[in-house]
Amino acid sequence: MTAGSMTAGTATDIGIVGLGVISRQYLETLLAVDGVRIAAVADLDASRAQAAADSIPGCRALGTDELLADPGVGTVLNLTIPAAHAEVALAAIAHGKDVFGEKPLAATLADAARVMDAAAAAGVRVGSAPDTVLGTGVQTARAAIDEGRIGRPVSASAMWISAGHEAWHPQPDFYYREGGGPLLDMGPYYVTSLVQLLGPVEAVSGAASRSRDVRVIATGPRAGESIGVEVDTHLTGILHHASGAISTVTMSFDGVRSTAAPIEVHGVEGSLIVPDPNMFVGEVQLHPRGGSWETLEPSAGYADAGRGIGLLDFVAGHHRASGAIALHVLEIMTALSDSAASGERVSLRTTAERPALVPLTPASEWRNL
């Protein structure tokens, strides 16, 4: 294996809390790795937990409290809704377990800080999605920047426009409550990518709006049901990176579609188009000064990866999808909302180092944990 890839080790016993839609993608990745064992699963719906356990060799269906205390679980994968992220993480930490969770790290910045402080006091580690930034898409763009192919980075833009998740999700309520909204739901992919590409952020300015107070579920058994909207559903912000680069971000549930590139990065010697950071792959395009657009071959990142690769990176000791980055990204997003409410620029208290670049790692290597 390469120096930057995952090294072989003993089996890692994972306990999964929360078996909603996203858990299927995690299981697909984790069950393909011989060195990882899904030891136990838990869900508020006991029948759903039992069904999952029955489909996984050697897996047990437990209650949440049982799983968090179980000595046979080494690392907790927290796939609950955002409002429960901190509660589950803190309970796992109290039992001396490492935790890797879905984004955001917590529904509020205060809760996220409590999680990180508790982990430091207990001597355990915290990791967090999004791990899509570890795929070949964002990592190849990161490599191009690090190699100086666009010269000194000056600016970037990130945009995600949608009509709202109620169009496809059968239980979209939490997207419109505290901890939800387009910024906290989709923003982590884009903001984490910007931190990967351009480094930490020192200050932000934001503006936000809400197009309506009620949404109508379009699919599933609750189709036609109205749900209340408690959060802003459109936000635009400016990020001032410590490197001197300036990024603009737009996240919205109030549009329909955009033709804008998901992320663009501009430097004094060239420009990059970065693919959808909600995906692990995609074409990275470079336009050097005096040249024309060209597609770069993948040169970095976990190839053919899926959700869960960040957990594998985490348990292998690389920790590129760290709690420190997730805390910084959450503060960036929280500060954008605070700035939108106050009309003032907000300076940040947290920071995070850009993690090490992921060497180009084929699936045959990362599946051999």
**202-219 pLDDT tens trace:** 999 999 999 999 999 999
CA atoms in the 13 A half-sphere facing the CB of 30: 27
Q: What is the CATH number of the domain that holds 146?
A: 3.30.360.10
What is the percentage of the chain residues whose pLDDT exceeds 70? Answer: 97
Query: Is residue 58 pLDDT above 70, yes or no?
Result: yes
Looking at residue 124, its pLDDT comes to 96
Q: Is residue 314 part of a domain?
A: no
Query: Is residue 9 pLDDT above 80, yes or no?
Result: no
Rounded distance between C-alpha atoms, residue 148 and residue 75, angstroms: 38
Q: Is residue 307 part of a domain?
A: no
Q: Is residue 235 part of a domain?
A: yes
Sheet containing strand 284-288, edge to edge, reads 294-296, 284-288, 270-274, 263-267, 153-161, 246-252, 234-241, 201-209, 346-347
Mark whether 144 and 202 lie in a shared domain: yes
Q: What is the CATH number of the domain that holds 109?
A: 3.40.50.720
**Can you give the pTM of this predicted structure?**
0.93
What rounded mean pLDDT belongs to the chain?
A: 94
Mark whether 160 and 112 lie in a shared domain: no
In 97-164, where does DSSP find H-type helix? 109-122, 136-146
Give the mean pLDDT of 7-23: 76
Note down the domain range covering 100: 12-131+359-366
In 147-267, where does DSSP find H-type helix? 181-185, 187-198
Mark whether 26 and 65 lie in a shared domain: yes
Please write the tens of the pLDDT for every residue from 243-299. Answer: 999 999 999 999 999 999 999 999 999 999 999 999 999 999 999 999 999 999 999
Mark whether 73 and 145 lie in a shared domain: no
Q: Is residue 304 part of a domain?
A: no
- Counting the structural domains of the chain, the total is 2
Mark whether 76 and 145 lie in a shared domain: no
Mark whether 90 and 200 lie in a shared domain: no
Q: Is residue 65 part of a domain?
A: yes
Mark whether 115 and 166 lie in a shared domain: no
Rounded distance between C-alpha atoms, residue 311 and residue 22, angstroms: 14
Query: Is residue 1 pLDDT above 70, yes or no?
Result: no
Which of 5, 42, 9 is CA-nearest to residue 23? 42
Mark whether 245 and 164 lie in a shared domain: yes
Amino acid present at 255: G
Mark whether 215 and 332 lie in a shared domain: yes
62 to 59, 93, 198: CA distances (angstroms): 10, 18, 42
Weakest-pLDDT range from 1-15, 93-107, 154-168, 263-277: 1-15
Give the mean pLDDT of 178-206: 94
Which of 58, 127, 119 is CA-nearest to residue 312? 127
Helix, strand, coil % in the chain, rounded to nearest 5: 30, 25, 45
Mark whether 116 and 148 lie in a shared domain: no
Mark whether 115 and 171 lie in a shared domain: no
**pLDDT tier at 5, thresholds 50, 70, 90:** very low
> What are the beta bridge partners of residue 248?
157, 238
Q: Is residue 149 part of a domain?
A: yes
Which of 34, 76, 27, 99 is CA-nearest to residue 366? 34
Looking at residue 8, its pLDDT comes to 27
Positive or negative, the CA dihedral 156, 331, 300, 309 is negative
Mark whether 266 and 329 lie in a shared domain: yes
Asked, as a colleague might, if the bond just before 298 is cis with ω within 30 of 0, I would say no
Q: Is residue 151 part of a domain?
A: yes
Looking at residue 181, its pLDDT comes to 92
Cβ-contact 19, 49 below 8 angstroms: yes
Q: Is residue 200 part of a domain?
A: yes
**pLDDT tier at 61, thresholds 50, 70, 90:** very high
